Amino acid sequence: MLLELSIFCAVLILLYLLAIMPKLKKNPGLDKFMGRHYAHRGLHDNRSKAPENSLEAFRLAVVNGYGIELDVQITKDLVPVVFHDYDLKRTCGVDKKVRDLDYEELCQYKLFESQEKIPSLREALDCIGGRVPIIVELKIPWKPDDTCVAVSKELDGYNGLYCIESFNPFGLGWYKKHYPNIVRGQLSTDFVKEKIEGSRVQYFILKHLLFNFHTKPDFIAYQHKYKKALSFTICRKLYRTIAVAWTVQSQNEMEDSKGYYNLYIFDSFIPE
C-alpha cells in the first residue's frame, strides 16, 4: 500500500512539473528586451495630459528611453485599440463596454478628462516608431481568434521590437501556432488574494501556470507581490525562465523584488 501511494505521489509530482514546464530552449529574441525598464501603459499620470495608454504617455516613455507595456483589445468592428479595462467607467466616466462600440464611437471619448482619445494600435505603433521595445498585453475575455488575428495584422507591418503577453493561455497558444518565433509571456498573479471575481478553478489553474505545457511561454510575468509563489519559483529556479515583475510602484518595491526578476514593468515612480 505504501509503495502504491509513493508511486501515485511521484506520478502526480511528475505530471505537475510537466504541466508547468515553459519553453526550455531560450528564444534568441529575448536578449533584445534585456537591460531596460518598461513603463506600464506608457510613462503616464492620470491627472495630467499624459494618461495611461495614451499617445502622449508613449511619447514620454520614448523620450526618456523606457520600453513600453501596453494593453490591446478589439472593438465591435474588430479594430485593435490600446485600452486596459473592458468598460469605460473608470477612464472615461461612461457605462459602456469597448466590445459594444465601433471604433468611431470609441473615438469620441477622452481619457481621464484630458485631450487624449483612446488610440488604435496602429496609432500607437506609429507614435512609438520602433524606438523602444514594446510588451503587448492581449486582453482576451475567452476565445482568442478575433483578437489575435486583428492584432497580428497590425504587428505584421511593424518594424520595431515587440513581444506578446496575456493572462489568457489560449491567446499565447494561438501565437505559438501561428507566430512561433515571436517572444511570448504568460501573465499571472494570485487572483483570489487580489479579490478578482471569477471561477476559483480557472484562477487556480492560471495562478499555478498549469497551461505552460500548452503555451510554452518564453517568459513568466508575475505580480511582484507574489514572487515566492510555488509554480513561479519552480519555473524561475528549475527551468531558468526569464521572470518579469509587474507592476512595481516604488523604488522600495523594485529593490525588494531584485533577485527574483530579470525585467521590471513600473508605474507611479521613476526608477533610479
Whether the per-residue pLDDT at 1 is higher than 80: the answer is no
Q: What does the pLDDT average to over 138-154?
A: 95
Please give the tally of structural domains in the chain: 1
- Told to judge if 40 belongs to the known catalytic residues of this protein, a careful annotator would answer yes
Catalytic residue among 37, 44, 84, 214: 84
pLDDT score of 248 more than 90? yes
Residue 6 belongs to some domain of the structure: no
* Of 37, 40, 44, 224, catalytic: 40
Structural domain including 41 reads 28-266
In this structure, is residue 272 part of a structural domain?
no
- pLDDT, tens digit, 9 for 90 and up, residues 49-96: 999 999 999 999 999 999 999 999 999 999 999 999 999 999 999 999
Mean pLDDT score, 239-257: 97
- Per the annotation, the verdict on 84 as an active-site residue is yes
> Does a structural domain hold residue 235?
yes
DSSP 77-115: T--EEE-SSSBSHHHHS---BGGGS-HHHHTT-BSTTSS
Does residue 198 fall inside a structural domain? yes
Instruction: Write down the pLDDT at residue 134.
Output: 98
**CATH number of the domain enclosing 50:** 3.20.20.190
Cell of 136: 503587448
Residue 235's SS3 state is helix
* Alpha carbon distance 243, 236 (integer Å): 7
Q: pLDDT confidence of 24, banded at 50, 70, 90?
A: very high
